């Protein structure tokens, strides 16, 4: 008996669905699972051939695997002796690092496919596009075409790397690479230039810096991570400088000469002054991401993306076309996997008649370097710009017992509160495990807590979380250990 193609393994004879999700990234697959759990007959369409989207396949997950491996190597080489641990001839195997990364990705993508089966979501591997508002045409990866009907459709097609503004340097994934190419290099660059001082560039730059690359950050703005709290950005810049990073701020890349063995960049200052050319083995263009909305047949349903490719939605994530919704990177807001997940659940709950909810003031952002950076809510600069009267509480990890015993004293916790009410408005952390520590602040902000509420909550000793408690104390009164 001939085996049924895997592309159709999740399909059924009935092609009429309550909800169809186009896009299998975090927002899409979470929406599909939630829809099935709430009793909707659900389908998901994903062209990649594996679920998880950019995040799981060529983004969040593989980059974290390489960040973890490279950090372990750096720790062994630079810090083990401090702990009384000695290892001779410590070296790394880049091929094995890449294999470990791929193993993690494969296991997680297979896990999501299992969840589709478990929740009885029909999974179509192919390119989905609108024939009309209630009909999805799917070009299956196996070569066939199939049409399905759907009462409601959620667009969750994510984003792709943005090209260099002006088009003077094209990504070829050989010498001029995107984040995707940076995840699969077959050698460690002697010199790596990052165009853009945002999250993606600094994470991948950290990986290769730890493995021996000279890393130079070329940034148009006057600082890295310009949307983050300025004090946090400045602190992180100083930490990276100590670790060998070099920075060229206020610099615009005009183009470059790409060769088989490297790239020469042509640049000028933001004031128009010509700068000396800059040579590199590889150049990583990390100037952000843009919505992926082409080829979806949006013109067939009356949906027109804006000049950036974003789809306009209302507060319920509905487009101008009835029963068509959009979430995640294709709509306004930060391009974060967890933001997309919350939006997907919200859409489905609303369709069920429940009260879906996304609080955009309580969505954390994390940079997974070492130390990590985690942030939620308003920055100090935003509060000043809005004319809000606020209080500030800070506590350095150098005064935290667990951070000192772990030899990781860099960084601080910064808390911003409304001066008259003590309500939490923003929390910003740079330090070891900041991505985990921020969750406490997110919960507090979600439920309208004051800094005193968290300061009066008992925290285990010795833990890094005590730094959060002390910063909360500093916001409304005084810390104990400083």
Please tell me the distance from the alpha carbon of residue 118 to that of residue 30, in angstroms, as a whole number.
13
Both structure tokens of 271: 């004031």
Please tell me the distance from the alpha carbon of residue 53 to that of residue 292, in angstroms, as a whole number.
12
Long-range contacts of 405-409 (CB under 8 A, 24+ apart): 405/462, 406/432, 407/79, 407/82, 407/83, 408/371, 408/432
User: Could you tell me the CA-to-CA distances from 228 to 415, 459, 462 in Å, in that order?
Assistant: 14, 27, 29
Whether the CA torsion 431, 434, 438, 440 is positive or negative: it is: negative
Say whether 481 is catalytic.
no
Token pair 């088989």 is found at 260
Please tell me the distance from the alpha carbon of residue 437 to that of residue 94, in angstroms, as a whole number.
31
Strands 191-195 and 412-418: unpaired
Q: From the candidates 79, 357, 461, 481, which is the catalytic residue?
A: 461
Please tell me the distance from the alpha carbon of residue 43 to that of residue 30, in angstroms, as a whole number.
12
How many angstroms separate the first and last alpha carbons of the chain? 74
User: Using an 8 Å Cβ cutoff, are 145 and 137 in contact?
Assistant: yes
Using omega within 30 degrees of 0 as the cis cutoff, is the peptide bond preceding 371 cis?
A: yes
Q: What element of type H or E holds 437? A: helix 434-446
DSSP 78: H
Q: Which residues contact 143 (CB under 8 A, 6 or more apart)?
A: none
Residue whose C-alpha is closest to residue 130's, from 321, 345, 352:
321
Q: Which residues contact 90 (CB under 8 A, 6 or more apart)?
A: 73, 76, 77, 80
User: Could you tell me the CA-to-CA distances from 208 to 155, 192, 442, 472 in Å, in that order?
Assistant: 35, 8, 32, 36
Return the number of other C-beta atoms located less than 10 Å from residue 265's C-beta.
Answer: 25
Strands 324-326 and 145-155: parallel
3-state secondary structure of 468: helix
Q: From the CA atom positions of the chain, what is the Rg in Å?
A: 24
Both structure tokens of 376: 């939620």
Catalytic residue set? 461
């Amino acid at each position: 008996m001939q085996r049924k193609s895997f592309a159709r393994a999740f399909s059924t004879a009935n092609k009429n669905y309550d909800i169809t999700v186009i896009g299998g990234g975090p927002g899409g697959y979470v929406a599909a699972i939630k829809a099935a759990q709430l009793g909707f007959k659900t389908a998901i369409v994903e062209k990649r051939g594996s679920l998880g989207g950019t995040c799981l396949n060529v983004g969040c997950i593989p980059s974290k695997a390489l960040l973890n491996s490279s950090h372990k190597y750096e720790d062994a080489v630079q810090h083990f002796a401090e702990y009384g641990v000695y290892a001779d001839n410590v070296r790394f195997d880049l091929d094995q690092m890449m294999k470990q990364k791929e193993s993690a990705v494969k296991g997680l993508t297979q896990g999501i496919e299992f969840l589709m089966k478990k929740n009885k979501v029909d999974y179509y591997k192919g390119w989905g596009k609108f024939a009309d508002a209630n009909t999805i045409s799917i070009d299956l990866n196996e070569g066939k075409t199939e049409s399905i009907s759907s009462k409601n459709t959620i667009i969750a097609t994510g984003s792709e790397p943005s090209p260099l503004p002006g088009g003077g340097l094209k990504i070829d994934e050989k010498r001029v690479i995107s984040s995707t190419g940076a995840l699969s290099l077959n050698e460690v660059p002697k010199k790596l230039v990052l165009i853009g001082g945002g999250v993606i560039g600094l994470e991948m730059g950290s990986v290769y810096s730890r493995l021996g690359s000279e890393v130079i950050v070329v940034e148009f703005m006057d600082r890295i991570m310009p949307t983050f709290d300025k004090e946090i950005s400045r602190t992180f810049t100083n930490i990276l400088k100590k670790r060998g990073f070099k920075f060229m701020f206020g610099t615009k890349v005009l183009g470059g000469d790409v060769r088989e063995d490297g790239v020469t960049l042509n640049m000028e200052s933001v004031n128009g002054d010509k700068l000396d050319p800059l040579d590199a083995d590889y150049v990583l263009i990390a100037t952000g991401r843009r919505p992926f909305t082409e080829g979806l047949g949006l013109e067939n349903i009356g949906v027109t993306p804006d000049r950036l490719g974003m789809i306009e939605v209302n507060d319920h994530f509905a487009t101008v076309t009835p029963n068509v919704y959009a979430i995640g990177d294709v709509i306004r807001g930060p391009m974060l996997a967890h933001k997309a997940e919350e939006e997907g659940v919200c859409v489905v709950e609303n369709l069920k008649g429940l009260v879906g909810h996304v609080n955009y003031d309580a969505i954390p952002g994390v940079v997974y370097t070492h130390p990590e950076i985690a942030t939620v809510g308003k920055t100090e600069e935003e509060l000043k710009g809005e004319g809000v009267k606020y209080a500030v509480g800070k506590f350095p990890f150098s005064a935290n017992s667990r951070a000192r015993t772990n030899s990781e004293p860099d960084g601080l916790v910064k808390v911003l509160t409304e001066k008259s009410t003590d309500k939490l408005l923003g929390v910003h952390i740079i330090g070891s495990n900041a991505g985990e520590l921020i969750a406490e602040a997110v919960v507090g902000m979600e439920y309208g807590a004051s800094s005193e509420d968290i300061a009066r909550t008992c925290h285990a000793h010795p833990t890094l979380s005590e730094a959060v408690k002390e910063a909360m104390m500093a916001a409304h009164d005084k810390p104990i250990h400083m």
